Amino acid sequence: MGRVWLIALLVVLGFSVLLFLSLRPPGAGARPAGSSHPKMGLDLPDPRLTPGDVLTRSKNEICRPGYARSVRDVPQAVKNQVYRLYGISSHAPGEYEVDHLISLQLGGSNSVKNLWPQSYKTQPYNAHVKDRLENKLHTLMCSGQISVQEAQQAIAQNWIEAYRKYVGPLP
């Protein structure tokens, strides 16, 4: 009788593991060492969860000194919601930032539709690299070399491709 229970328990445990793995969001697994191909959920946000969202398309507002700081407001509860949406139940301090896909300095919003947990650790694409793109697009936009809409669309569609186009090859 004890053996039957043990087999039943192992079968239930096996099905539970399979169910858990099938419900994980895309990109929730680790990228293989040495891989430089972008992975959704690690390098790129899942577009179903983070399509991008804007607060403004006004160049005059966005290019005003201190604008991004004046609209930055993402409560910890919202950050926790973003981690849950991406299936991240725990992480080390400094491993991720809840980042704006369309950055505030490009008119992005603080809504969940514009937030995702971006890694500081993945290589070669990570939050530090994306920050360089955000700064470059802000400069180009405020100097009139590209439109607000062009900057917002480029970073929302695929920030890595936008990096290659506007900044150049990765260092």
Determine the pLDDT at residue 34: 38
Residue showing tokens 């809409």: 149
Burial of 142 (0-12, 13-18, 19+ CB in 10 A): middle
* SS3 state of residue 153: helix
Question: pLDDT per residue over 118-165, tens digit each?
Answer: 999 999 999 999 999 999 999 999 999 999 999 999 999 999 999 999
Contact of 79 with 112, CB cutoff 8 Å? no
Tell me the pTM.
0.76
Q: Which two tokens stand for residue 145?
A: 């070399």
In the DSSP assignment, the letter for residue 92 is: -
